[in-house]
Amino acid sequence: MTIPMACDAPAPVSRGRCALAWVITGAAAVAVRSVRFHRIERFARWLMRLTRRSAGAVEIEIMLATIDRAGRWLPVRVACLERSLAVAPGDTMTASYPLVAQAADLIDYDSYVLEPDGSMLPQSSARSGILRMLRLLEVEPGMRVLEVGAGSGYTSALLGQIVGERGTVTSLDVAHHLVARAARKHAERGARNVAVYPADGFGGWETGAPYDRIIGWTTPHVLPHSWVRQVRDQAVIVTPVKVAPIANANMILRVDIQHRRPIARDVHLGGYIEMHAEVITDFPVPVRYLDGLLRLPQGVVWVSAPELRAQPDLTDRAVRLIATGRAVASPLAGKHPRAVGACHAYLLASRPEGLASAGIGDHWGLGVVHSDSAAVLRHTDLHVAGTAGAEDQLCALLSEWEDAGRPDHTSLEPHLTAGPDGFGVNLKRR
């Protein structure tokens, strides 16, 4: 069966750019044969600068992934290459970058995330995302770090390795069994500078303050006031956070503390499980900003639609409508997965009328939801329902994003607004 194509097909990726990317890829593959880690790092830095001027974000991402893959076949320090190039467009290469890669070389990921039966602990995060976030944090030896969301313990092990004997890592998790598991793993490795406590990390951990760095592996709805109070001046906080009152509207935020005030520096694509005072077990259903939910034999259907929020009869109608919808081919089909994230970020910064998210089974999307029509862009497809209104509106926005050169998160500026629990975050286009 052929599925109908939604929106107009996007402009093809420029051949010239692709050719350039492949030429550089080849050159990189040859160059890395004989250089050591710090040279690879410097080379990657140069490559990023060069290509950012001449290729689009998605092309760079594809190129880096290709170099990464090519590295596996070369007689070089492959692990270093893999990690040194696990960068995304807009990622800042920092002085702590080799430290993260070295720690990742020393700590065995599987020993933390795998259960005795070989299955993966559900609360484990993908290693590439972890390394990306750690680089943003700029952790150095001797620092005091607070981590919220211990999960498997892998990230606290990396942090403990980076800060060394003179530094400390305090890690929190609401799940007591994970705290005990992570603490046991650290003890087995003899990591004495990492302590894990059962606590709701939204309040931070006063006892160990002031911290040089705070990192969140779970998404709060705002940047908590407690975190800003518990760090010293010049500290850095990196955390996923909500950038709109919409379920799954998450991005990674880097904040610098200057003169005791938080300065939102930049945002990156990504997000982690919601921060909640109780352990979450129903993973596909959002905890916060959930407006409508249907549990059907084929899976859950939910909607998070701020503009319908005050009218329960309309959200109820919307979720039922979404359940009857169909998947059509996405105009981003076949593109790099991060293109969908970049497009979501653009929508969040544009805040069009009816901006909403919806989940159908295991896949969720961001788009436009009205009471009589819905269209959300998922990683796999476009889910549409009802009349054509929402689909037309979303397709117009996708064309706008294409015409603007498919801007990614680097084109967005985060803004903080103080509220009762913390600083709300919203995005503006630069």
Residues annotated catalytic, as ranges: 125
Q: Does residue 193 interact with ligand SAM by CB under 6 A? A: no
CB 150 within 8 A of CB 196: yes
Site string for ligand SAM, 273-312 (x = CB under 6 A): x-xxx-x---------------------------------
Q: Does 244 bind ligand SAM (CB under 6 A)?
A: no
Q: Residue 254 corresponds to which tokens in the numbers above?
A: 């880097």
Would you call 368 helix, strand, or coil by DSSP?
Answer: strand
In this chain, which stretch among 28-36, 72-80, 151-159, 239-247 interacts with ligand SAM, using CB under 6 A? Answer: 151-159
Applying CB under 6 A, which part among 11-19, 172-180, 244-252, 379-387 lies near ligand SAM?
172-180
Q: Which residue's C-beta sits nearest to ligand SAM? A: 151
Smallest distance, Å, CB 204 to ligand SAM?
10
Mention every residue, 6+ apart, whose C-beta is less than 8 A from residue 331.
Answer: 5, 6, 7, 8, 9, 10, 382, 395, 398, 402
List the one residue out of 299, 378, 394 whose CA is nearest residue 339: 378
Nearest distance, CB of residue 188 and ligand SAM, angstroms: 16
Is there binding between residue 125 and ligand SAM (CB under 6 A)? Answer: yes
SS3 133: helix
State the minimum distance, in angstroms, from the CB of residue 273 to ligand SAM. Answer: 5
Query: Counting contacts by CB under 6 A, is residue 200 touching ligand SAM?
Result: yes
Cβ-based nearer residue to ligand SAM, 276 or 335: 276
Degrees to nearest 5, angle at CA 163 with 157 and 168: 80
Nearer to ligand SAM, 71 or 220 (CB): 220
Could you say which of 67, 101, 148, 427 contacts ligand SAM (CB under 6 A)? 148
Peptide bond before residue 122 is cis, with ω within 30 degrees of 0: no
Residue 214 makes contact with ligand SAM by CB under 6 A: no
Question: Rule CB under 6 A: is residue 123 a binding residue for ligand SAM?
Answer: yes
- Residue 262 CB, shortest distance to ligand SAM, in Å, is 19
Cβ neighbours of residue 19 closer than 8 Å, sequence gap 6 or more: none
Stretch that binds ligand SAM, among 1-9, 152-160, 373-381, 396-404 (CB under 6 A): 152-160
Helices (H) and strands (E) in the chain, counts: 13, 17
Strand, helix or coil at 369?
strand
Q: How far is the CB of 305 from ligand SAM (least distance, A)?
A: 25
| Bridge partners, 368 (sequence order) | 355, 375
The reply to whether 250 sits near ligand SAM by the rule CB under 6 A is no
Look up residue 164 and give its two tokens: 């060394």
Outline where DSSP puts E strands in 97-219. Answer: 144-148, 168-173, 194-198, 211-216
Nearer to ligand SAM, 112 or 401 (CB): 112
Report angle CA 218, 86, 30 to the nearest 5 degrees: 175
What are the phi and psi torsion angles at 189 (to 5°)?
Answer: -85, -5
Using the minimum distance from each CB to ligand SAM, give the nearer residue, 51 or 152.
152
- Interacting residue with ligand SAM among 71, 98, 151, 286 (CB under 6 A): 151
Residue numbers at the binding site for ligand SAM (CB under 6 A):
123-125, 148-149, 151-152, 154-155, 172-175, 178, 200-202, 217-218, 272-273, 275-277, 279
